Structure 1
């Protein structure tokens, strides 16, 4: 079995009597091409698109390079359909929903836009420039929603992206392109703060979990923020682990997103009857392991298949480091209670991910194969390894002789679900 790491792979051979299963999603082969899938989905938006008028400002929101979505395929097809309805190239702009992520390079813009690069204007959202933000109002929970000015002032807004699991928003895609994708840093932080229960010391809201939308306070905040923009429609893809587009959902931004989430959950949940002593999980290679903040998703999902105190081996190259400078600083807190208290007093999205990382590092024994400095891996409560063989050797010393294991080759996409 080959497990991807950045742009390379490591072989893994486990004795058959140790392996409970290789946890993978079973993906049906699409009956048509990715372009045909997109065109079919967009056909359902013809009635809405026909209402667009020449001269109206149209903003298309899409994801950054850390979340591959198939944008180089669907953006040209979307623009083609808009052109056919009379929308001119000069009246369109693509806004990259960075949230609080770094700006994109020219090369990354080319990858995101495909054949549209140089033809349709593209800009990166800036969460920290007040001159490029507009205040829209408060959610029912009091979250102040500030949104990218170009998005807020457009005549028509189209949200694009991909649907997948999210470890505390339930699922990505849909409303997330607005809040946090196109929101101010303050709004991003406030919406994500909803992950915590209101009472100090009470920890994370149990409904703010992977694959959960009902009762999820983070999802609720995102829905309310998105409603303030009221997008014309969404176009969201579902991707196979090898990044093929296998489905697309286009239309009403609420309904079609929910349809896509149901489809994704059915396809990418993996029922398990028992938990294992060892879970070996790869994020699936680049870009899913581009930085640790992205790789954390695989750590979270993989841990669902692991016994308390078990060993998790995580392959995550992290060529871009942590993904944000503020992330690593949070590991000055070693006790979860002190960490939570500091997080409540000065909430940061990256602090929440760091808190979740430390929770798992203390519940399990985590061996991280990465390019990160070993001393920093140890500061995060994990065990550093440079290669998979080294990691397996370290894991073996911590496992019982009769251990059982799961292997998850695409940890960023599949969710083990205990029965």
Structure 2
């Protein structure tokens, strides 16, 4: 019997797996992170991919818009790398008055002044103000064209009117776009609500009843219409420069890329693939995964990242046990609505198509996983709240295992994923 101690909420729980059943423990690949964060940032800025150096690209007096991520992505340590981006602009003669910071909130809420200071950090907070993008403000949106997918692209006018647009952020696996970072700073970041919803609706298959588009998933851009649509939209805006970081499991800036918003981003995706993409030779009968404790398992909305990754390691019809305390419940009313208010996946799909939102899609996705697998949550959530979606909820790992063994038998090939939110299993 193998016993593993894994994070759950703010504590630790033990998971016991029979030795004969354990296929592997899926975790991040080992990489050399000996460089300091400063060395990583400067190396990327001084060696842009696919573009000229900044000194040859930008002239004094030109206006530069720096698009930054919102507070939900503060983990990417913007306050650490943004001063270096500003210093690079200062060195080529760009004055503070010609730098505009716009926060790519997409359809998220606006920020407080305190949150803006956290994003910029003390070195920049007294020099610059941050403007939150407003996807509903039609007076500050400008139409730049329509993609081949029929998405009308309306972007932030203040950003578009600048001579240069710099995209900043972090690259991670993303459940819809394949990869975070890059083009996502434009769409959904600084686009209209109409543009965002039209794009994100591509996450569903074209035909009613077929559910999620199988090509719209983490780590995939091939035939992914949502990704391609985002890329077309960003290309209409013509960003001049990109700076994206890659974080390791310890929350350190482990790598960074800069330069052309397509080429540099692709280089960054390869780094994430090497770090967090984990090859598996077969799918398991049972996958046991945890997000990695608080705050990654604070609610079901955040837990979807773990469910997405765990699903990739489980055989169709198998069992998935996810340890997620969910101390704040669903974390979003739309997630709750889709899970709680319908009895069938077709009803959920119809409702989602009629009024699409990201949170509703997350509720739909979790329900879809529960329809195709035995999904068991070890959680503080009330099972009655998710029962209509066929999600089992128990208080202990032992109870979860008992359900899985009773339904599927005790000799289950098993994967353990102690960092489920950050590792993507990939069948080879």
Pairing 1:64–2:70 present: yes
1:155 CA displacement: 2.3
Question: Do the aligned residues in 1 keep the contact of 2:203 with 2:216 (CA within 8 Å)?
Answer: yes
Give how far 1:110 is off: 3.8
Paired residue for 1:325?
Answer: 333
Secondary structure in 2 matching 1:410: coil
Matched, 1:129 2:137: yes
Does 2:199 match 1:191?
Answer: yes
Whole-angstrom distance in 2 between the partners of 1:111 and 1:398 = 49
Which of 348, 357, 360 is 2:369 aligned to? 360
TM-score, normalised by the number of residues in structure 2: 0.89
1:219 paired residue number: 227
List gaps (5 residues or longer) in structure 1.
none
Q: Quote how far apart the aligned CAs of 1:174 are.
A: 0.4
**Partner-residue secondary structure (3-state), 2:194:** helix
Is the 1:27–1:240 contact (alpha carbons within 8 Å) kept by the matching residues of 2? no
Kept in 1, the 8 Å contact 2:289–2:322? The answer is yes
Q: Which residue of 2 aligns with 1:338?
A: 347
Cα distance in structure 2, aligned partners of 1:188 and 1:290: 26
1:64-114 deviations in Å (ceiling 9; x for gaps): 233322312211111121122222233323322222223334554344322
Correspondence for 2:45 among 42, 46, 58: 42
Alignment gaps of 5+ in structure 2:
none
Question: Number of matched residues?
Answer: 419
Residues 11-70 of structure 1, C-alpha deviations (whole Å, 9 max, x = no match): 434343332211012131223111111100001247235433344332211222333223
* Match status 1:14 vs 2:17: yes
Segment of structure 1 superposing worse, 234-243 or 347-356: 347-356
Deviation at 1:294, TM superposition (A): 3.1
**Cα gap change, 1:82/1:210 in structure 2, threshold over 3 Å: closer, same or farther?**
same
Q: Please say if 1:119 is aligned against 2:122.
A: no
Counterpart in 2 of 1:276?
A: 284
Give 1:3's aligned residue. 6
Which of 36, 61, 65 is equivalent to 1:33?
36
Q: In the superposition, relative to structure 1, how do residues 129 and 285 fare at CA in structure 2: closer, same or farther (>3 Å)? A: farther
- Bigger drift between 187-196 and 44-53 goes to 44-53
SS in 2 for 1:66: helix
In structure 2, the partner of 1:109 is: 116
CA RMSD of the aligned region, Å? 2.4
Residue 148 of structure 2 is matched in structure 1 by 140
Shift of 1:403: 2.3
Residue of structure 1 aligned with 2:416, choices 400, 407, 411: 407
Structure 1 length-normalised TM? 0.91
Taking the aligned partners of 2:331 and 2:40, their CA distance within structure 1 comes to: 32
CA distance in 2, matches of 1:286, 1:149: 38
Pair 1:95-2:102 in alignment? yes
- Corresponding residue for residue 247 of structure 2: 239
> In 1, are the aligned partners of 2:142 and 2:155 still within 8 Å (CA)?
yes
Deviation at 1:319, TM superposition (A): 5.1
Shift in Å, 1:345: 2.8
Equivalent residues in 2 for 1:169-188, closer than 5 Å: 169-188=177-196
Partner of 1:52: 58
